[in-house]
Amino acid sequence: MAHDPRQASDHEAASEPTSPDTLKTVSRSFPTTEKTCVGCGGQFMAAIITIPGEDGEPEEVISDRCQDCYVGVPVQYDAGDSDWHQPTQEQVFQMMDELGINVRRHGHIGINEMEPAPVRKELASFLEGVVKAGPWTEANTLYLWGPTGTGKSQAAVAVVGELLRRGMPRRRIIYDRGRAMITQLQDRYKTGHVDEFSEVRRKCGLWVYEDAGTEKVTPDAFRVLEDVLDAREGKPTIITTNQSRHFFAERWRQIDGWERLQSRLGPYRAIEFKGVDRRLG
């Protein structure tokens, strides 16, 4: 019988290597139940997540795929890869920090604490779509828009944190901010690594693109952004911005082919965040 990681201490979970076989039975900080994976047919311990149901009553959601079949094309496992250890809360915070997330500001609120309830439900639905997506299964995409300080970044971070807690490797998440990403892109032009820069964003398990609309409008930026969005159709993606899809695309009107950007954003599930800037009290 496989070792139950719930019996291990936090120190053991953080220091002992995890084998590929053990990954199928790793439990997170949730109740679990034994399931047969629809992807590979193996047995694994599935987390039981409680989300608000359509009638407002709690509803249990259980993943039907093991870690090996988790989100998109299976990856090569490395028994010494710390990303696959059962994460403690401290390790989750560390991974979030490595992704460039302000943990002090955004790291302590989960999906279940998000308001209002319709937003919470949308995020929970997106999360389960990511967890259950197979290599050839279309997943949801989110376009979170509204005024500054209304909770868009918090919503994106809540999803990232939940995925990390449930075992998604940090290396499969890319967390970008509009202006900073274009600066990185310009640096890659100097070293000739632009294609590699785009490739990781086209193929990652989850791409979060924060502050879309703050990037400088240039032909090179348009080419990379349009290319990544094209490749990510049907792949787990979250975009946050102050602008509606129409106005975001309109920013690029001076670039030949700008209308393709608007088309790429068409399938995204748009969620409008309303209210005043929470940072101002």
Rounded to an integer, the average pLDDT of 261-272 is: 91
Question: 13 pLDDT band (50/70/90 cuts)?
Answer: very low
Does some domain include residue 226? Answer: yes
What does the block give as tokens for 257?
């082919």
| pLDDT of amino acid 176 | 94
Q: The dihedral of CA 186, 190, 195, 201: what is its sign? A: negative
Does some domain include residue 246? Answer: yes
Cα–Cα distance measured from residue 169 to residue 21, given in angstroms and rounded to the nearest whole number: 16
Does some domain include residue 49? Answer: no
Does some domain include residue 60? Answer: no
Percentage above 90 pLDDT, the chain: 35
Q: The dihedral of CA 200, 201, 204, 208: what is its sign? A: positive
Does some domain include residue 160? Answer: yes
Q: In this predicted model, which residue has the larger pLDDT, 228 or 46?
A: 228
Cα–Cα distance measured from residue 96 to residue 154, given in angstroms and rounded to the nearest whole number: 13
| pLDDT of amino acid 7 | 38
What total of structural domains would you count in the chain? 1
Does some domain include residue 10? Answer: no
pLDDT per position as a tens digit, 164-214: 988 888 888 999 998 888 888 877 777 767 788 888 899 899 999 999 999
Which CATH number do you get for residue 126? 3.40.50.300
Q: Is the pLDDT of residue 72 over 80?
A: no
pLDDT per position as a tens digit, 18-59: 333 333 333 335 678 887 766 556 677 877 766 555 566 666
Rounded to an integer, the average pLDDT of 128-142 is: 83
- Residue 216 vs residues 18, 111, 164, 179, 186: alpha-carbon distances, Å: 43, 32, 31, 7, 11
| pLDDT of amino acid 34 | 83
How much is the mean pLDDT over the chain?
A: 77
Q: In this predicted model, which residue has the larger pLDDT, 13 or 83?
A: 83
Q: How many angstroms from the chain centroid is the CA of residue 205?
A: 7
Helix or strand (DSSP H, E) at 35:
strand 32-36
Question: 153 pLDDT band (50/70/90 cuts)?
Answer: very high
What does the block give as tokens for 263?
């088309």
Does some domain include residue 184? Answer: yes
Least confident of 72-76, 111-115, 172-176: 72-76
Does some domain include residue 240? Answer: yes
Q: Domain limits at 129? A: 86-280
- Residue 131 vs residues 49, 66, 69, 116: alpha-carbon distances, Å: 11, 9, 9, 23
CA angle 46/174/88 to nearest 5° reads 45
How would you classify the pairing of strands 237-241 and 141-145? Answer: parallel
